[in-house]
Chains A and B, each alone.
Chain A
Amino acid sequence: KNEVEQSPQNLTAQEGEFITINCSYSVGISALHWLQQHPGGGIVSLFMLSSGKKKHGRLIATINIQEKHSSLHITASHPRDSAVYICAVSDVYSGGGADGLTFGKGTHLIIQP
């Protein structure tokens, strides 16, 4: 079973700062997901990636398959980016079945004005 570790657990930064959240996992995966959860519980999928880099607006996600590591970057951070960011991986099951997600414990991000 995959073990997913995120760091930092908590992060407080000032508006405009460049934010990096890290995620590492223990065994091979079919894909890695970055999720955002706001107070109240709703979860939004930010990225799903299996190699390289993806960019959406001010968000950038990268993954290094060899090192089993991914990073989520937020450029020009804003108070509305305050949320919990969760890394999750889709395990590779024998037989090609999919893929219940295994989650990290999340990074609680606060961006102060």
Chain B
Amino acid sequence: KAGVTQTPRYLIKTRGQQVTLSCSPISGHRSVSWYQQTPGQGLQFLFEYFSETQRNKGNFPGRFSGRQFSNSRSEMNVSTLELGDSALYLCASSFQQGNEQFFGPGTRLTVL
């Protein structure tokens, strides 16, 4: 069974731009969570989607948004990028809410 995939793996943007990251969960998994990892703050929860609905959201500004499609694939969008948005963005999928999560390889975003 294929694992969680994320695209792109690396991305360089400039301040003020917007970016869309994609996550394809393990086949059959309906829950997708997104996390941000930075050297200063460590890993932080962004949001979780289940059956196309956002179920939980972390403490991030409204510039961070996401969605989930009917095939469970998910995207997250960051608008008006700031230097501090440079991070590793990880998504994780699980069969349903509360189950063990399986992580993707991450997308490393650099904002210049």
Query: Do B42 and A98 have beta carbons less than 8 Å apart?
Result: no
Cβ of B102 < 8 Å from any Cβ of A?
A: yes
The answer for the CA separation of A102 and B56 in the assembled complex, in Å, is: 13
Enumerate B15-52 residues with CB–CB distance to A below 8 Å. Answer: 31, 33, 35, 37, 42-48, 50
Contact B105 A42 (CB under 8 A): yes
Closest A residue, CB atoms, query B31: A98
Per-position contact with B for A89-113: 1 when CB-CB < 8 Å, else 0? 0100100011111111110000000
Measured in the bound complex, the distance between the Cα atoms of B46 and A102 in whole Å is 11
B46 neighbours in A (Cβ, 8 Å): 100
In the assembled complex, A31 has its CB within 8 A of some CB on chain B? yes
* Chain A hits for B42, CB < 8 A: 103-106
Find the B residue at minimum CB distance from A100: B45
Does more than half of chain B's interface fall in helix, strand or loop, or is it mixed?
Answer: strand
Contact of A102 among B45, B88, B90, B101 (CB under 8 A): B45
Among A13-21, A43-51, A58-66, A70-78, the one that faces the other chain is: A43-51
Interface size range of chain B in the complex:
20 to 34
Contact of B98 among A43, A88, A99 (CB under 8 A): A99
Interface size on A, residues (CB 8 A): 24
A41 vs B46: C-alpha distance in the bound complex, in angstroms? Answer: 17
Is the CB–CB distance between A98 and B108 below 8 Å? no
B106 in the interface, Cβ–Cβ < 8 Å? yes
A26 adjacent to chain B (CB < 8 Å): no
B interface residues (Cβ-Cβ under 8 A, vs A): 31, 33, 35, 37, 42-48, 50, 55-58, 88, 90, 92, 97-103, 105-106, 108
Q: List 6 A-B contacts (CB under 8 A).
A: A86-B43, A98-B50, A99-B56, A99-B98, A100-B33, A103-B43
| Chain A residues in the interface with B (C-beta under 8 A) | 30-31, 33, 35, 41-45, 48, 86, 88, 90, 93, 97-106
